[in-house]
Structure 1
Amino acid sequence: MVAAAMAAVAVAGLALTEVASAGASGDRSRSGHDKALQAGLEALVADGRLPGMLMSVRDRNGRVTNYTAGVGDVRTKSKVPTDGYVRIASITKMFTAVATLQLADEGKLALDDTVEKFLPGVVRGTGDGAAIDGRTITIRQLLNHTSGMPTGVPFMGNGILPVRDRYFETREMLDAALTQAPTFAPGQDRVWAYSNTGYMLLGLVAQKAAGRPFAEVVTDRIIDRIGLKKTYYPGPGDRDIRAPHPQGYLFPKDDRGEPTAGDLIDITRFDPSIAGAAGQMIAAPSDLNKFLVALQGGRLLKPGRLAEMRQTVDAPGLFEGWRYGLGVIEMKLSCGITAYGHGGDADGFQTRAAITPDGRAVTVAGTNDEVRQYEVIALFDKALCATK
């Protein structure tokens, strides 16, 4: 449900609005827009399988343009709300990583500490997972997915629909993961495997080190610190998305969980606790760009710690030229520029966000995570490389 930025109804309405972003980053509104980017969005929604698209582009001078295409609701044919809220899924990992690195700066943890130091006796695998042991897993390995923690999300064997209304404690998710076989020995040389359960575990570690609930850690240390007004970590039992937002959709499935023909299913409302610190958050595209600008500008991490965050390892399974750091993906773009960001797929939403070294930030989101991933990535690349 919350994969990384992986390999990646005819249009009933589309809109484009230029807006000024609030906050301390000095953003300014811009006149005009990139017609090629707008056309790219329209092409993505043309056959209705991907009902709606949102994109926010912050140029190198801080000017922001928000784009939309398609419909926000396939039933009512309403327009996609400009800069609406979406589930950002694994983009949450950047927030989790930043909070963890802040705790390291304060001496509350060290990246080479073991999980055992903070959760003594908790991480002990059973059955197929007998080799998993918190005494051999470090925080750094959780951050860059070299811990060997299982890759799948527990309780998702039949997709989201059977568990959409169920609340999960992170400890329950972890205990289920500990019965699954590890992908490799922790820190094994040149081995990498994306692990959502690893980041759920990381959230527990950060929570213990901070002495506060993890949602509060992220809110106080990041969201409130830099004035993100349209970003939040849903609380227990919060299954909805704040307004305005488009609806999120998925394809109907057969008994094996394979997509079948039929009307799209509205999956906007579900309990995101199944993702936890790996993918629970909700935000608007322009706010994710503000986060990226603040991170790159030194408002969240010291320069040395940001550089450490961007020290990457080979990441087989991501796009060619992409590597993984500490909760961030290094993306080699088609224009030769290197951007840093993340992607996320939650049921109903696919979202990508990144920033270039000179401060151009782009976030793009679509309202079906099961279709056109490659095309969305291609448009995302094009938007980051654009000069307007």
Structure 2
Amino acid sequence: MFSKAAFALVAGVALVAPSASAALAESPRHAPRDAVQQRLDQLVREDGFPGVLASVRDGKRVTDYTAGVSKLGTQRPVPEDAQVRIGSNTKTFTAVVVLQLVAEGRVDLDQTVEHYLPGLVRGNGNDGSKITVRQLLQQTSGLSDYDDVLFQKPQDLVDLSHSYFEPRRLLDAALTQAPHFAPGTKWEYSNTNYVLAGLLAERVTSRPIGEEITERIIQPLRLRDTYWPGVGEQRLRGTHPHGYVAVGPGEPWVDVTDMDPSLGWAAGQLVSSPSDLRTFFEALIGGKLLKPAQLKAMMTTVPAPGFEPAGDWSYGLGLASHALPCGGLAWGHGGDIQGFETRNLVTTDGRSAVVAVTALPTGEEMLNHVNATVEAALCD
């Protein structure tokens, strides 16, 4: 869920992986099964991630992978297809709910935020009457990102991990800042857009966004390890590896497995597993969650400079497209939250991959290696 600026804050505190040698020493030994397994092993051995999980589909064949350890200081292997926090992949779930409401005639993509949430987006030059629902989902509203306000120093990743944030508190933090540009004139990633999208869905349905995601997506797709954490719920419910962050140059990984995900809310609160997340994106691209008109709108993209540090990316309505090095387009999103990073891509010809690492990267190179692992799973 973190913005580019927030990721820079994290990456700036340590340009190499902290405790990389410890993660390597404690990683269980096993023979690599194939190219994907070799790349996962490299993420542990060379980049220093404590653990990695992946789920890959190549046509009809699905393979789950792990590398590294479930908890530093132990020899326990990472549990296969375990629960992880999926951060900003939540945005795609939220966008699906809003687009289903569009199909039901309850939301108009080109209506203003002010129409649905009167008086909510005002002050410091922010004006909800000039921002459309489409611009929220497309990340072209110009609204400031609340996490750039809340996360001022690396230690905040730990110090704020147990803080509860109501959605309005997140929005209010963003509205202390002037908009970065006029709506519709540029693209810039902002978690604030999806907090507003969640609030809009709640206003229209008169139900919590977590309930709407559960009833409209999780239950129909039978995603057994995907859930919306309850208010104040900090522990992962099912089998899971530990998640870590680093707070300074040369500092060890800090265990943040138990944390309050409310800082992400409709932009980043969900818990899932690699296979569940892969199933969700496969169903979405396969037309099982949206009607053709809404799926077409979701997949209509604009250039998204800076969405990832490297590569050719465009952004639709809560869904990003990426030009694969082996040719063709793949679709996905990705997510970062304390303790976990997930990257995922799906093609229209039956290939899909989800890779989850159990720590936030501490440098751009680490992030690029995670992205390259997903690409390789589709291209190799």
Please report the TM-score for the alignment, with normalisation by the length of structure 1: 0.88
Q: Distance in 1 between matches of 2:252 and 2:142?
A: 39
Shift of 1:349: 0.8
8 Å CA contact 1:86–1:245 kept in 2: the answer is yes
Which residue is 1:170 aligned to?
167
Alpha-carbon offset, residue 47 of structure 1: 4.8
Aligned residue runs from structure 1 range 232-311, under 5 A: 232-251=227-246, 253=247, 259-311=248-300
Q: Tell me how far 1:3 sits from its aligned partner.
A: 3.8
Question: What is the rounded CA distance, in whole Å, between the counterparts of 1:278 and 1:107 in structure 2?
Answer: 24
Q: What residue is the counterpart of 2:82 in the other structure?
A: 84
The within-5 A match list for 1:1-388 is 2-3=2-3, 9=22, 10-14=24-28, 35-47=34-46, 49-61=48-60, 63-125=61-123, 130-153=124-147, 154-158=149-153, 159-188=156-185, 191-251=186-246, 253=247, 259-318=248-307, 319-371=310-362, 372-386=366-380
Indicate if the aligned counterparts of 1:89 and 1:279 stay in contact, CA closer than 8 A.
yes
What displacement does 1:97 show? Answer: 0.6
Alignment CA distance shift 1:48-1:355 (3 Å) = closer
Cα offset, 1:265, TM superposition: 0.5
Q: Please give the secondary structure, in 2, of the residue aligned with 1:65.
A: strand
- CA distance, structure 1, for counterparts of residue 192 and residue 171 of structure 2: 7
Quick one: distance in 2 between partners of 1:14 and 1:208?
Answer: 50
What is the distance in 2 between the residues matched to 1:42 and 1:115? 46
- Separation in 2, partners of 1:169, 1:244: 28
Q: Residue type matched to 1:301 in 2?
A: L
Segments of 4+ in structure 1 off by > 6 A?
none
Between the aligned partners of 1:52 and 1:320, the Cα distance in structure 2 is 25
Deviations 1:97-123 (A, max 9, x none): 111100000011010111111111111
Distance verdict in 2 for CA 1:149–1:15, change over 3 Å: farther
The equivalent of 1:22 in structure 2 is none
Q: CA deviation at 1:233?
A: 1.1
Secondary structure of 2:150's counterpart equals coil
**What is the alpha-carbon distance in structure 1 between the residues aligned to residue 284 and residue 179 of structure 2?**
32
Give the gaps of 5 or more residues in structure 1. 17-32, 254-258
**C-alpha deviation, 1:187, in angstroms:** 1.1
* Cα separation, 1, equivalents of 2:67 and 2:218: 28
Instruction: Assess if the C-alpha contact under 8 Å between 2:28 and 2:75 holds in 1.
Output: no
For normalisation by structure 2, the TM-score amounts to 0.90
Of all paired residues, the percent bearing the same amino acid is 47
Counterpart-to-counterpart distance in 1, 2:237 and 2:28: 21
Question: 2 CA distance for matches of 1:344 and 1:15?
Answer: 29
What SS does the corresponding residue of 1:94 show, helix, strand or coil?
helix
Contact in 2 for aligned 1:15/1:80 (Cα 8 Å): no
**Conservation of the 8 A alpha-carbon contact between 2:331 and 2:346:** yes
* 1:320 Cα deviation after fit: 3.2
Tell me the CA shift for residue 76 of structure 1.
2.2
3-state SS, counterpart of residue 225 of structure 1: helix
Distance (Å, rounded) in 1 between the aligned partners of 2:360 and 2:152: 17
| Paired amino acid for 1:38 | Q
Asked whether the equivalents of residues 346 and 369 of structure 1 are also in contact (C-alpha less than 8 Å), the reply is yes
Give the AA of the match of 1:12: E
Contact 2:313 2:321 in 1 (8 A): yes
Deviations 1:10-63 (A, max 9, x none): 1534489xxxxxxxxxxxxxxxx96111111111101573110000012212x2
CA displacement at 1:133 relative to structure 2: 0.8
| SS of match in other structure, 2:221 | coil
Q: What is the distance in 2 between the residues matched to 1:163 and 1:114? A: 33
- TM-superposed deviation, 1:160: 2.2
Could you say which structure has the higher helix fraction? 2
SS at match of 1:160: helix
Q: Matched residue of 1:326: which SS? A: coil
Give SS of 2:368's match. Answer: helix
Residues in 2 aligned to 1:296 and 1:15: alpha-carbon distance in whole angstroms: 37
CA deviation vs aligned residue, 1:75-102 (integer Å, no higher than 9, x gap): 2231101001111001111101111100
**Structure 1 counterpart SS, 2:259:** coil
Root mean square deviation, CA, Å: 2.0
What is the number of equivalent residue pairs in this alignment?
Answer: 357
Counterpart contact for 1:310–1:328, Cα < 8 Å: yes
